[in-house]
């Protein structure tokens, strides 16, 4: 690989992950173990990869959705979910020196398949896993509750209540899923309500390559109270949206590998990360779905160095923006960060 710094200098850099979906970040060896335990014939790594992993840009959406669902369907016990939460944190620390970590999940997505688990049991299992990781490693971890835009406003209103009622467990609210066919506007009141209760707001917006999609970034910032934008790489299609991001200081949670795998950009080199960075947008570096998308945060940094010529100095800017933008309370962040910075 071609970059301007030593790998050990990159590894020594304490890192921050803001955009990671817990249910799609399962450690691969654990996922394979769960799959075998539930009767899948995936002892051969090729069979496992075919059923669960996304290794090349997506062809048609259904086959990819099928892989998401295969993974989700395996998470059918609170013991396993607790283990997954712990291992996701552990992998972040060990592989990538992550010290501040925000994990997000959609209770409606997980519970759709697992009616025998209550929302409270699910949340408590995840919190147990996270707390064990915080007790084991010098890291601060927080959770974000995701609403699925494919579900009704009424159904999502219940999840907003859930997030507000678990204010100690959730830092923020997010909106995810199919952005092309489901506009964000119907959900504006839900986000305003969450914000008025002190939850942070981040919104998946401007992710897929679809002409005009950057309007969702504008809606998120101007109407939904977004403190951050999930992805938002398509801002690059409209200079006025780039300007809005810059003047409002709204950070983007960019996920290079995921954006390539979902077809949001053609290659690592053509991703607009560096152009947005140079335009004065607060760009942060994240993994999205590290388990099933076969990446980790360290690799995201390496790919940005190799394909976009980003250097350690630029990475420090990105990490500082991520620190400022993290919804984890300042005191808790400082407790793990002060010793390493
Ligand atoms: Zn995402």
Is the whole model's pTM more than 0.85, yes or no? yes
What gap in Å lies between CA 266 and CA 111, rounded to an integer?
34
Between the CA of 174 and the centroid of ligand 1 the distance, in Å, is 9
Between the CA of 76 and the centroid of ligand 1 the distance, in Å, is 22
What gap in Å lies between CA 114 and CA 76, rounded to an integer?
6
Between the CA of 107 and the centroid of ligand 1 the distance, in Å, is 14
| φ, ψ (nearest 5 deg) of residue 238 | -135, 110
Between the CA of 148 and the centroid of ligand 1 the distance, in Å, is 11
Q: How far apart are the first and last CA of the chain?
A: 27
What gap in Å lies between CA 140 and CA 92, rounded to an integer?
11
What gap in Å lies between CA 107 and CA 284, rounded to an integer?
25
Between the CA of 195 and the centroid of ligand 1 the distance, in Å, is 20
Between the CA of 1 and the centroid of ligand 1 the distance, in Å, is 27
Which tens digits make up the pLDDT trace of 60-116? 666 677 889 999 999 999 999 999 999 999 999 999 999 999 999 999 999 999 999
| Domains of the chain by start residue, with CATH | 7-337 (3.20.20.140)
Those residues whose C-beta lies under 8 Å from the C-beta of residue 6, and which sit 6 or more positions away, are: none
Which tens digits make up the pLDDT trace of 160-178? 999 999 999 999 999 999 9
Between the CA of 288 and the centroid of ligand 1 the distance, in Å, is 5
Between the CA of 231 and the centroid of ligand 1 the distance, in Å, is 7
Between the CA of 21 and the centroid of ligand 1 the distance, in Å, is 6
């Amino acid at each position: 690989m071609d970059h301007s710094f030593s790998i050990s200098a990159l590894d020594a850099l304490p890192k921050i992950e803001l955009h990671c979906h817990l249910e799609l970040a399962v450690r691969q060896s654990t996922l394979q173990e769960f799959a075998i335990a539930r009767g899948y014939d995936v002892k051969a790594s090729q069979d496992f990869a075919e059923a669960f992993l996304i290794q090349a840009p997506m062809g048609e959406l259904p086959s990819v959705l099928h892989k998401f669902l295969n993974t989700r369907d395996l998470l059918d016990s609170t013991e396993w979910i607790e283990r997954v939460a712990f291992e996701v944190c552990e992998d972040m620390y060990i592989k990538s020196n992550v010290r501040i970590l925000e994990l997000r999940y959609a209770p409606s997505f997980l519970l759709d398949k697992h009616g025998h688990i209550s929302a409270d049991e699910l949340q408590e299992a995840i919190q147990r896993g996270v707390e064990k990781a915080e007790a084991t490693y010098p890291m601060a971890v927080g959770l974000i509750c995701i609403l699925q835009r494919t579900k009704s406003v009424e159904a999502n209103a219940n999840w907003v209540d859930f997030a507000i009622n678990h204010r100690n467990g959730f830092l923020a609210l997010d909106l995810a899923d199919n952005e092309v066919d489901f506009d964000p506007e119907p959900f504006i009141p839900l986000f305003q309500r969450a914000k008025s209760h002190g939850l942070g707001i981040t919104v998946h917006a401007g992710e897929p390559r679809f002409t005009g999609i950057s309007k969702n970034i504008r809606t998120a910032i101007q109407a939904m109270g977004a403190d951050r934008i999930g992805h938002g790489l398509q801002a690059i299609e409209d200079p006025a949206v780039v300007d809005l991001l810059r003047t409002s200081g709204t950070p983007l949670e960019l996920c290079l590998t995921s954006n390539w795998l979902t077809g949001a950009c053609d290659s690592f080199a053509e991703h607009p990360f560096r152009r947005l960075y140079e335009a004065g947008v607060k760009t942060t570096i994240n993994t999205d779905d590290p388990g099933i998308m076969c990446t980790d945060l360290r690799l995201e940094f390496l790919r940005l160095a190799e394909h976009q010529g980003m250097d350690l100095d630029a990475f420090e800017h990105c990490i500082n923006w991520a620190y400022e933008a993290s919804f984890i309370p300042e005191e808790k962040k400082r407790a793990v960060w002060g010793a390493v910075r």
